[in-house]
């Protein structure tokens, strides 16, 4: 004879969770559900947008990525190294995640030797040992709240194109496999008065945020990283 047991759920943990959720409601905005989910299920991982759209896990599949950034000329006049800084910042984050990359200084050297631009990503496919080429095209960049010169708020948006390197008749070519748009705003809710943060410091904070969000397109991340 099989004896069956009925297990009663413990009340104390449930009460603890309920209290924690009430506290979270009082102290959070959009992060409430992330916090609640973490308490109940741990810190779930989110697959990267690139993996969702292409089925390629850059880390596990050990695929190498080359990144090129381009920005408007007016942005380069204020920050001459912005294209390099963005690409280098993203690649450093991806390397920490175990993703293979083409070093940014090697790509920068190629651009210096070839007029500072490329007409076709296939040029890069033939020059570098890589599996994918990402072109991040920044259209807009601002560090100031609109119509409020005394307030900081960073905004950036643009397009992203990713190409797979394939061989056709023995020749390397770049075939487009991913297209996406990005829009980043920081801080998300309220702008920061300039007397609280120096412009140079805020600019670095926003570019770090932009780099972080662009890098997440290529690597899986935990929900808590988006808070």
pLDDT at 10: 39
Tokens for 22, please give them: 């009430």
pLDDT in tens, 16-53: 433 343 344 444 444 554 455 555 556 788 999 999 99
Q: Which residues make Cβ contacts (< 8 Å) with residue 160, sequence separation at least 6?
A: 134, 135, 136, 137, 178, 179, 180, 181, 182, 214, 217
**Residue showing tokens 């609640």:** 36
**Residues 219, 224, 225: CA angle, nearest 5 degrees:** 45
> How many residues belong to the chain?
227
User: Helix, strand, coil % (nearest 5) of the chain?
Assistant: 40, 25, 30
Confidence of residue 63 (pLDDT cuts 50, 70, 90): very high
Does residue 93 contact residue 211 with C-beta atoms inside 8 Å? yes
Q: Which residues make Cβ contacts (< 8 Å) with residue 6, sequence separation at least 6?
A: none
Q: Rounded distance, CA 91 to CA 98, Å? A: 11
Query: Three-class SS of residue 161?
Result: strand
Q: Using the predicted structure, report yes or no on whether residue 108 has a pLDDT greater than 50.
A: yes
Q: Which is more confident, 3 or 147?
A: 147
Q: Which domains does the chain have, with CATH numbers?
A: 1-42 (no CATH), 45-226 (3.40.50)
Does residue 143 contact residue 154 with C-beta atoms inside 8 Å? yes
What rounded mean pLDDT belongs to the chain? 85
Chain-centroid distance, C-alpha 86: 11
Query: Three-class SS of residue 33?
Result: helix
Q: pTM for this structure?
A: 0.79
Confidence of residue 223 (pLDDT cuts 50, 70, 90): confident
DSSP 91-105: HHHHHHTT-EE--HH
Q: Rounded distance, CA 215 to CA 86, Å? A: 10
């Amino acid at each position: 004879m099989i004896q069956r047991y009925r297990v009663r759920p413990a009340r104390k943990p449930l009460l603890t969770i309920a209290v924690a959720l009430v506290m979270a409601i009082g102290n959070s905005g959009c992060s409430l559900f992330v916090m609640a989910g973490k308490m109940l299920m741990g810190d779930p991982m989110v697959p990267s947008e690139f993996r969702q759209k292409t089925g390629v896990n850059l880390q596990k599949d050990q695929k190498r990525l080359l990144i090129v950034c381009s920005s408007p000329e007016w942005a380069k006049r204020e920050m001459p190294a912005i294209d390099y800084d963005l690409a280098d910042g993203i690649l450093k984050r991806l390397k920490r995640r175990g993703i293979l990359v083409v070093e940014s200084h090697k790509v920068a050297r190629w651009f210096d030797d070839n007029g500072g631009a490329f007409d076709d990503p296939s040029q890069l496919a033939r020059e570098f040992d890589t599996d994918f080429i990402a072109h991040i095209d920044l259209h807009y960049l601002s560090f100031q709240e609109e119509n409020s010169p005394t307030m900081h708020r960073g905004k950036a948006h643009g397009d992203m194109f990713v190409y797979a390197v394939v061989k056709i008749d023995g020749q390397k070519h770049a075939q487009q496999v991913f297209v996406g748009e990005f829009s980043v705003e920081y801080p998300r809710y309220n702008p920061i008065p300039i007397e609280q943060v120096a412009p140079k410091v805020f600019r670095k904070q926003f570019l770090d945020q932009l780099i972080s969000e662009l890098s997440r397109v290529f690597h899986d991340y935990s929900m808590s990283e988006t808070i």
